């Protein structure tokens, strides 16, 4: 741990643990303790750790062909792109590969600006689209992320769409009688905040990091109409959702909408660095040749990650993990709703399929976020052998899709004891403000 602190600059949460092995839904630390991995790595391992067929593919591909110049192609990238296209509706068939999800969203921005000849990129408040500078500008999940970045944020961005956050409605109305009035108010924000040169509206089909905000089904179709009215494209960021996790292969399929550009990352990569932006041949043709489209770089679409991600998606489809996520998601949700009914600190449970979240509050009536309690729960759950991701007052439950009902049941039991310990005030001697998502919390700007 001391060597890590001296030579690696990174976030380190309490309790500090160094992991050295993963198998299925379990990860093991250097002292030999096992933990359920309830974040699937960084939400990437839909098939769990060291899936035997993926291990075999990695070995075979390592012996055959790992990396090449991105000015040429390879059979695995082609087949992966074709398979992705075959799972998407409409004419979404052309993939521009990238290495990270941030980069995929930046490519989507380049495509939209190039194809429309317009500049404003409009995003939804509480959305997260990555950490490289252009997409950081579109990211509005609060905290200290953008502190000090000032003029490095692209000026042609407008964080102008109110989130469809029914639990804490931004305009104090109630669904369904509101008729999704947050969108109508957003139209007014667009009028005042943009230069009326809208290239794209970008959104997550479920706003995950901003609070697992699951929009009403009519929200995305109406967002697409809004984008079209303003002359822009609709870009949907599937980094957290695809494939299969929500009980649909693509998260947006819960709504009747076909976006103009879809970006993918995390779960589509099987933990290898192969992300991308998918669009129609028509938009690709209009975009190509400007603003660095098509994007290439050093690694996008390399044979090793392409072969592994291809195999992973084939398995997801072959084993109907979409149906499995829907079924097990129902079980998980019932158990989490049970915890909500039992504990005053769980204000709400939100999510779809095998991606759920607890909204931790000081009390059910006032709904005041309680990030310190959420951190205590995450900490105690880790001691109980279950690793959850927790940002602010949001604890996410995001297991590999291969988890069994018995394992989920075991995890919920551990989570319940962790909540009981936290309600009793444990741990008493740890300052989370220096070690967790609270370390990046907001507050006034630092003056040096």
Residue ranges binding ligand PLP (CB under 6 A): 100-102, 105, 128-130, 204, 208-209, 237, 239-240, 265
Of the two residues 265 and 277, which places its CB atom closer to ligand PLP in the complex?
265
Minimum Å gap between C-beta 159 and ligand PLP is 15
Minimum Å gap between C-beta 362 and ligand PLP is 27
* DSSP3 helix / strand / coil % (the chain, rounded to 5): 40, 15, 45
Minimum Å gap between C-beta 134 and ligand PLP is 12
Q: Is 27 within 8 Å of 387 (Cβ atoms)?
A: yes
Minimum Å gap between C-beta 105 and ligand PLP is 6
Minimum Å gap between C-beta 98 and ligand PLP is 9
Whats the size of the chain, residue-wise? 448
| 355-360 and 261-264 beta bridge pairing | unpaired
Of the two residues 128 and 258, which places its CB atom closer to ligand PLP in the complex?
128
Gyration radius of the chain's alpha carbons:
21
Contacts (Cβ under 8 Å, ≥6 apart) of 184: none
Return the residue nearest ligand PLP (CB atom): 101
Torsion-angle region of residue 199: left (phi > 0), alpha (psi -120 to 50) or beta? alpha
For 181, the 3-state DSSP assignment is: helix
Minimum Å gap between C-beta 265 and ligand PLP is 5
Dist CA 78 CA 407 (whole Å): 37
Which strands make up the sheet holding 120-124, listed edge to edge?
94-98, 275-279, 261-264, 233-237, 198-203, 120-124, 157-161
Of the two residues 239 and 315, which places its CB atom closer to ligand PLP in the complex?
239
Of the two residues 239 and 293, which places its CB atom closer to ligand PLP in the complex?
239
Say which DSSP state 446 is in.
P
User: What distance, in Å, lies between the first and last C-alpha atoms of the chain?
Assistant: 30
**Look-up of token digits 């951190």:** 375
Of the two residues 335 and 396, which places its CB atom closer to ligand PLP in the complex?
396
Of the two residues 45 and 419, which places its CB atom closer to ligand PLP in the complex?
45
The torsion angles phi and psi of 324, rounded to 5 degrees, stand at -65, -40
Dist CA 133 CA 137 (whole Å): 6
Q: Is 232 within 8 Å of 116 (Cβ atoms)?
A: yes
Minimum Å gap between C-beta 239 and ligand PLP is 3
Dist CA 103 CA 229 (whole Å): 27
Minimum Å gap between C-beta 56 and ligand PLP is 25
Dist CA 329 CA 333 (whole Å): 6
Displacement of CA 218 from its chain's centroid (Å)? 21
Of the two residues 103 and 359, which places its CB atom closer to ligand PLP in the complex?
103
Q: Which of 146, 178, 148, 173 is nearest to 159 (CA)?
A: 146
Of the two residues 159 and 422, which places its CB atom closer to ligand PLP in the complex?
159
Minimum Å gap between C-beta 277 and ligand PLP is 11
Of the two residues 100 and 422, which places its CB atom closer to ligand PLP in the complex?
100
Say which DSSP state 37 is in.
E
Minimum Å gap between C-beta 130 and ligand PLP is 3
Secondary structure in 3-state letters for 203-246: ECCCECCCCCECCCCCHHHHHHHHHHHCCCEEEEECCCCCCCCC
Of the two residues 236 and 358, which places its CB atom closer to ligand PLP in the complex?
236
Of the two residues 350 and 421, which places its CB atom closer to ligand PLP in the complex?
350
How buried is 429 (Cβ within 10 angstroms: 0-12 exposed, 13-18 middle, 19+ buried)? exposed
Minimum Å gap between C-beta 355 and ligand PLP is 11
């Amino acid at each position: 741990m001391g060597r890590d602190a001296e030579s690696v600059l990174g976030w380190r949460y309490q309790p500090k643990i160094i992991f050295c092995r993963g198998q299925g839904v379990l990860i093991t630390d250097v002292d030999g303790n096992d933990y359920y991995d309830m974040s699937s790595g960084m939400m990437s391992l839909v098939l769990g750790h060291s899936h035997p067929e993926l291990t075999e593919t990695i070995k075979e591909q390592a012996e055959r062909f790992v990396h090449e110049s991105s000015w040429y192609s390879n059979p695995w990238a082609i087949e992966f792109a074709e398979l992705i296209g075959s799972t998407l509706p409409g004419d979404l068939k052309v993939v521009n590969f990238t290495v990270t999800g941030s980069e995929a969203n930046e490519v989507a921005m380049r495509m939209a600006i190039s194809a429309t000849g317009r500049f404003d990129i409009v995003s939804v408040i509480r959305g997260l689209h990555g950490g490289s500078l252009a997409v950081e500008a579109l990211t509005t999940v609060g905290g200290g992320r953008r502190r000090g970045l000032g003029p490095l944020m692209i000026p042609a961005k407008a964080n102008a769409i109110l989130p469809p956050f029914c639990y804490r409605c931004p305009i104090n109305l109630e669904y369904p009688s509101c008729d999704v009035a947050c969108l109508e108010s957003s139209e007014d924000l667009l009028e005042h905040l943009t230069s009326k040169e809208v290239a794209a509206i970008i959104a997550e089909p479920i706003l995950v990091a901003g609070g697992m905000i699951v929009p009403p089904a009519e929200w995305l179709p109406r967002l697409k109409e809004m984008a079209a009215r303003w002359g822009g494209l609709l870009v949907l960021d599937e980094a957290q959702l695809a494939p299969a996790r929500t009980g649909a292969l693509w998260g947006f399929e819960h709504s009747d909408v076909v976006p103009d550009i879809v970006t993918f990352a995390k779960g589509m990569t099987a933990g290898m660095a192969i992300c991308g932006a998918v669009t129609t041949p028509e938009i690709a043709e209009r975009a190509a040749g400007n603003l660095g489209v098509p994007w290439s770089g050093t690694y996008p679409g390399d044979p090793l990650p392409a072969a592994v991600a291809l195999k992973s998606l084939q398995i997801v489809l072959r084993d109907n993990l979409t149906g499995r996520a829907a079924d097990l998601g129902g079980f998980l949700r019932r158990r989490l709703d049970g915890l909500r009914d039992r504990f005053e600190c769980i204000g709400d449970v939100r999510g779809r399929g095998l991606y759920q979240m607890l909204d931790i509050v000081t009390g059910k009536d006032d709904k005041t976020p309680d990030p310190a309690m959420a951190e205590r729960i995450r900490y105690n759950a880790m001691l109980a052998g279950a690793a959850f991701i927790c940002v602010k007052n949001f604890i996410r439950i995001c297991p590999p899709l291969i988890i069994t009902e018995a394992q989920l049941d075991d995890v919920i039991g551990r989570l319940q004891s962790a909540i009981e310990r936290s309600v009793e005030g444990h741990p008493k001697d740890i300052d989370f403000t220096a070690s967790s998502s609270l370390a990046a919390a907001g507050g006034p700007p630092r003056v040096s």
